[in-house]
Structure 1
Amino acid sequence: MTAQIDFETLWYASEWLIRFGALATVPLRRSPSAATSWLLLIFFFPALGLLLYLFIGRPRVPVARQKRARELRTFQLDVARRLKNDSCGDRSEAADFAQKLGRMPCVDGNSIELISDYDAVVERLLADIRSAKYAVDLLVYIFADDVVGKRIAAELGEAVQRGVRCRVMFDPIGSHRWRRGTLSLLRDAGVETREALPVHLILRRTRADMRNHRKLFVIDGLIGYAGSQNLVAKDFRPGVVNRELVARMSGPVVASLASTISSDWAMEALDRPDPFPVAIPAGSGELRAQLLPSGADYPFEGFETLLVWQLHRARQRAVLVTPYFIPDESIIGAMCSAASRGVMIDLVVSSVVDQRIVHLAQCSYFEQLLAAGIRIHLYRELLLHAKNASIDRDLGIVGSSNVDFRSFQLNEEASLLLYDRSIIDRLIEIQDGYILASDSLALDSWRSRPRLQQLSENIARIMSPLL
């Protein structure tokens, strides 16, 4: 009996120690909403909350990774310096600000094609690998050993036989369903393979929920791809078919993509810590473009910071396209402020649901946005996984970043910034196509949705900083 009492007392005391410890540590370097969510979880479920916090909740980047990032910064700045000769002659404030956020400059002389057909992206990439002469570098969140992955691996294997150096880096969490098969598939083809931000239960080098979410492909240092598409079949989820948007480009901006891939490879490649050299391609067109990398190795939340600033400066129209919309206060404030000034704001999300809790959380924001005059469109039939934005025909953004806490503060992301009317108008044409294929929400009907749904949304919203 005494032993039982002692154990119960010890357990009770330990729970309160966890709660008081959480009050002292959780709010540090964390937004009020995120801190509130963690504290609620820990106060109601101390043991479970502590385990989750230790695994995915600590906001610090390991010291070793911080040191490595500082070492690689010299390499990135050298590439940026060599790109200076191709820098935009007529740079906008956005371009200068984006360089401060992501280190890479805006450069002239690029050709860019926006591809919204999933299968067409796969075929173009296969053709480019087939024509490669020197090197192929693929950095991607998901690389599956399904029909798409096998076709790409086979083409990479053929390139290796021709003497082309082929490297693939994929995220082990994003690719967890296929991880073992993918490693075997690529290594059997002679492809150099690396996992981004590997997860280890013991002696972890970084937080388990910090992921490399970038999708960047470079062939011979001359052709680059950036966007939202992974290397997996478009219907890899049962009953769900993805629609994406990818920019295929040539010209000096490809060096920015190559620099990011090389830095990420060197961050994880302990056997080769020096980044692979990056050459600056000659101009191949007339378009200005700029890569904005973001993530824990950068001092600010680059994509979010730029987006909030642009929304506050918007004058006519802004379109945001994202599959996962879980904004923080700054995004909500910027959108509502712009709408109050008479700016037309279109938010395009998918009506097809692949992550139920995330969907409920994003729905909890809709009433506030609709009341502010923001138009919300639910894309029908396919999962609109594309991530892009346009502001006033002055700035276009195509990349991998969602409008959510995870993409803003945890994931490694990459966004291609577009500054010329011709390519931005093409992006707006694609976005308007999304809207035509969507159902628009009305405030009155949205307010009349079932009470149980509203309750579920509110509960999910409390959890949103943890998603």
Structure 2
Amino acid sequence: MTAHITFETLWYASEWLIRFGALATVPLRRSPSAAASWLLLIFFFPALGLLLYLFIGRPQFPVARQKRARELRAFQLDVAERLENGSSGDRGETADFAQKLGRMPCVDGNSIELIDDYDKVVERLLADIHSAEHTVDLLVYIFADDAVGKCITVELCEAVQRGVRCRVMFDPVGSHRWRRGTLRLLRDAGVETREALPVHLILRRTRADMRNHRKLFVIDGLIGYAGSQNLVAKDFRPGVVNRELVARMSGPIVASLASTISIDWAMEAFDRRDPSPVAIPAMSGGVRAQLLPSGADYPLEGFETLLVWQLHRARQRAVLVTPYFIPDESIIGAMCSAAARGVTIDLVVSSVVDQSIVHLAQCSYFEQLLAAGIRIHLYREFLLHAKNASIDKDIGIVGSSNVDFRSFQLNEEASILLYDRSVIDRLVEIQDGYILASDPVALDAWRSRPRLKRLSENIARIMSPLL
């Protein structure tokens, strides 16, 4: 009896120790909403909350990895300096600010094609690998061993046989369904393969959902791809077909992509070798563009910081396209204040759902946005997985980052900033096509949705900083 009471007392005391410890630890370096979500979970379920917090609650890399990132910064800054020296013209306030956020400069002399056809992206990538003479580097969140992955691997295998150095890095969490098959497929083809941010269940010192979500492909250091598309079949989810947007580039901007891939590759090397050298390609066009990498190795949430700043500066129209919209207070405030100034704000999200809880959390924000005058469009038929934005036709953004907590604070992301009017016009044309293929959300109709759905959305919203 005494032992039983002692155990209960110890358990009760430990729960309160966990609660008080959470008060001292959780709010550090978190937004108020994220801190509140964790504290609610831990206060109601101390043991479960502590376990989850230890597993996914600390948004920082291990000390050793942070040190390695600082060591590799000199390599990144050297590429940036050489790019700046080879570029001409006034880069502008936005480009200078973006360089402070992501360390990569705006460069001119590029050629950029926006491709919004899933199959065409795969076809162009296969053709570029087929023509490769020296190197192929693929950094991607999902690399599957399905029909798409096998087609790409066949081309990589033939390239290896021609003497081309081929490297593939994929995220083991994003690719978990295909991980073993993908590793076997690529290594049997002679392709150098590494996993980005590998997950170790024992002695793990960083949260397992801090992922490398970038999609960057570079061929011969001359051709680059960046956008939202993974290397997997467009219908890999039953009943869901993805639609994406990818920028295919040539010119100096490709060196920014190559340096990011080289650094990510070197981060996972046990021998701590220097990254592969990066040459600056010759100019191939007249487009000004800039790579904005973001993630835990950077001091600020680069994509979010730039987006908020641009929304506050918007004068006429801003279009945001994202499959997952779970904003924080700064994004909501910037959107609503822009709408109050008379700026037209179009938010395009997908009506096709692949993650139910995320969708419910996303819907919980709609009434506030609609009441502020923001137009919301639900894209039909496909899962609109593309991530892009345009503001006043002064800047276009195409990349891998969603408008959510995960992309802002946890994932390694990469966005291409477009400053050339002709390319921005093409982006706006694509975005207007999304809107034509969407159903508008009306405020009155939205307010009349069932109460059970409202309750589900509100519960999901409480969890949104954890999603």
Task: Place the TM-score, normalised by the shorter chain, in its bin.
Answer: over 0.9
Shift of 1:312: 0.2
- Distance in 1 separating the partners of 2:86 and 2:302: 23
- CA deviation string 1:137-195 (max 9, x = no partner): 00000000000001111110010000000000000000000000000000000000000
Contact preservation (8 Å) 2:339, 2:345: yes
Partner secondary structure for residue 7 of structure 2: helix
Q: What corresponds to 1:404 in structure 2? A: 404
**Displacement, 1:16?**
1.2
- Alpha-carbon distance between aligned partners in 2 of 1:75 and 1:305, rounded to the nearest angstrom: 24
2:29 corresponds to which letter in structure 1? R
Measured in 1, the distance between the counterparts of 2:87 and 2:300 equals 23
The residue number in structure 1 matching 2:285 is 285
- 1:146 corresponds in structure 2 to 146
Tell me by how many angstroms 1:69 deviates: 0.7
Following the alignment from structure 1 to structure 2, what is the Cα–Cα distance between the partners of residues 205 and 88?
44
The one-letter code sitting in structure 1 at the alignment partner of 2:300 is F
Give the C-alpha shift of residue 88 in structure 1: 4.7
Question: C-alpha distance in 2, partners of 1:196/1:420?
Answer: 33
Q: Does 1:200 align with 2:174?
A: no
TM-score between the two structures when normalised by the length of structure 2: 0.99
Do 2:140 and 2:169's aligned partners in 1 also have CA atoms closer than 8 Å?
Answer: yes
Kindly state the Cα deviation for residue 17 of structure 1 after the two structures are TM-superposed.
1.1
Specify the alignment match of 2:160 in structure 1.
160
Report the Cα offset of residue 7 of structure 1. 1.6
Give CA deviations for 1:285-312 in whole Å, capped at 9, x if unaligned.
0100100000000111000000000000
Following the alignment from structure 2 to structure 1, what is the Cα–Cα distance between the partners of residues 297 and 13?
A: 39
Q: What is the CA–CA distance in structure 1 between the aligned matches of 2:180 and 2:160, rounded to whole Å?
A: 21
CA RMSD between the two structures: 0.8
When normalised by structure 1's length, the TM-score is 0.99
Q: Which amino acid aligns with 1:393?
A: K
Higher deviation after alignment, 339-348 or 19-28: 19-28
Give the CA deviation at 1:272. 5.0
Q: SS of the counterpart of 1:128? A: helix
SS in 2 for 1:206: coil
Distance, in Å, in 2 between the alignment partners of 1:205 and 1:129 is 37
Matching residue of 1:189 = 189
* 8 Å Cα contact 1:65-1:206 kept in structure 2: no
Counterpart Cα distance in 2 of 1:171 and 1:45: 31
Structure 2 partner of 1:83: 83
Query: SS at the partner of 1:457?
Result: helix
Q: For the residues of structure 1 that align with 2:53 and 2:181, how far apart are their CA atoms?
A: 31
CA distance in 1, matches of 2:86, 2:274: 25
Contact 2:215 2:230 in 1 (8 A): yes
Task: Report what 2:384 is aligned to.
Answer: 384
Find the residue that maps to 1:200 and give its secondary structure: coil
Find the counterpart in structure 1 of residue 235 from structure 2.
235
Tell me the number of residue pairs that the alignment of Structure 1 and Structure 2 aligns. Answer: 467
Q: Is the 8 A contact 1:227 1:399 kept in 2?
A: yes
SS in 2 for 1:218: strand
Distance 1:44 1:273 in 2: 47
Alpha-carbon distance between aligned partners in 1 of 2:64 and 2:30, rounded to the nearest angstrom: 22
Q: Any idea what the Cα deviations from partners look like across 1:366-414, whole Å, max 9, x if unmatched?
A: 0000000000000001000000000000000000000001100110000
Other-structure match for 1:132: 132
**Partner secondary structure for residue 352 of structure 2:** coil
Give the drift of 1:209. Answer: 1.2
Equivalence for 1:357: 357
Q: Secondary structure at the match of 2:297?
A: coil
Q: Which runs of 5+ in 1 are unaligned?
A: none
Deviation per CA, 1:59-92, whole angstroms, max 9, x where unpaired? 3321111111111110000000110133351212
Give the Cα separation in 2 of the matches to 1:158 and 1:78: 33
SS at match of 2:20: helix
Residues 240-249 or 265-274, more deviating: 265-274
After superposition, the Cα gap between the structure-2 partners of 1:413 and 1:88, relative to the gap in structure 1 and judged at 3 Å, is farther
Aligned counterparts of 1:439 and 1:86: Cα–Cα separation in 2: 46
The letter of the residue matching 1:251 is G
Contact 1:111/1:286, CA 8 A, preserved across alignment: yes
Alignment of 1:437 with 2:437, yes or no, is yes
Q: Report if aligned partners of 2:59, 2:206 keep a CA contact under 8 Å in 1.
A: no
SS of alignment partner, residue 15 of structure 2: helix
Is the Cα–Cα contact under 8 Å of residues 145 and 178 in structure 1 kept in the other structure? yes
Give the secondary structure class of the aligned counterpart of 1:235. Answer: coil
Q: 1:37 — aligned with what?
A: 37
Asked if 2 retains the 8 angstrom alpha-carbon contact of 1:393 and 1:425, the reply is: yes
Name the aligned partner's letter for residue 178 of structure 1.
Answer: W
Find out whether 1:337 has 2:372 as its counterpart.
no
